[in-house]
Each structure stands twice: as structure tokens, then as C-alpha cells.
Amino acid sequence: MPLKNDRYTYRVTWSEDDQEYAGLCTEFPSLSWIGKTPEAALKGIREIVQSVINDMSQTGEEIPEPIACKRYSGKFMVRVPPEVHRNLAIQASESGVSLNRIAGAKLSR
């Protein structure tokens, strides 16, 4: 049975190697579940996540916080080559906007 109030981030994708669907959980990148249908893959990964969380609880390990529950500031540092920085600064200046606005727009594409 899947976790009650499960807020983890799941994805189901086709696995060409396995010729079946793979269920994945972003917060537990080492886990996956293969199923014949997308529904089976999702059910399987949710059940294995519950099992791992139960084991982690019993051993006192720290359980990952669901991404959906985390708060983000909207700030992070990105390093780019100087010529990229210069080109972005030029684009921002020519567009009459900040460098942050240009970078944010490019990242959100």
C-alpha cells in the first residue's frame, strides 16, 4: 500500500532497454520500478518508496523531504565563462532589462 499523504515527486517513462515502463522518484534517485503499464510502474515505485522509508525510520536514517514541501528563495549562483557573461550583459543592456531578467528568461525556456 502506498504512503498516506505521499508528496514525493514521481515520473513514469518508457525504458527502451527493458521494453517496459519505469517508475522513478526524484527524491530517491537510486530507486526504480519496472512495470508492463504506466500504472503498474507508478504503483510499484510508490510501494518501494514506502518500504525504504519504513526501513529508514526503523534505523534512524534521515528521510528526504519531498521537493514539493521545500521552500526556495529564487536565488542561486551560476558560473559561466567570461565571454558568456559579457554577451548576456550586452543583451540585457540592449534590451533595457537587468542581467537577472535575461538569465531568468533563458533558464525558464
Task: Please give the pLDDT value at position 3.
Answer: 65
Task: Please give the pLDDT value at position 1.
Answer: 59
Strands (E), the chain: 10-15, 20-25, 32-35
Indicate if 78 and 93 belong to the same structural domain: yes
Task: Please give the pLDDT value at position 66.
Answer: 95
Residue listed under C-alpha cell 535575461? 102
- The domain of 78 spans 72-107
Distance CA 84, CA 76 (A): 17
Predicted confidence pLDDT, tens digits, the chain (109 residues): 556 678 999 999 999 999 999 999 999 999 999 999 999 999 999 999 999 999 999 999 999 999 999 999 999 999 999 999 999 999 999 999 999 999 999 999 8
Task: Please give the pLDDT value at position 105.
Answer: 93
Enumerate the β-bridge partners of residue 32: 24
Indicate if 57 and 87 belong to the same structural domain: no
Indicate if 59 and 16 belong to the same structural domain: yes
Q: How many separate domains does the chain show?
A: 2
Indicate if 16 and 60 belong to the same structural domain: yes
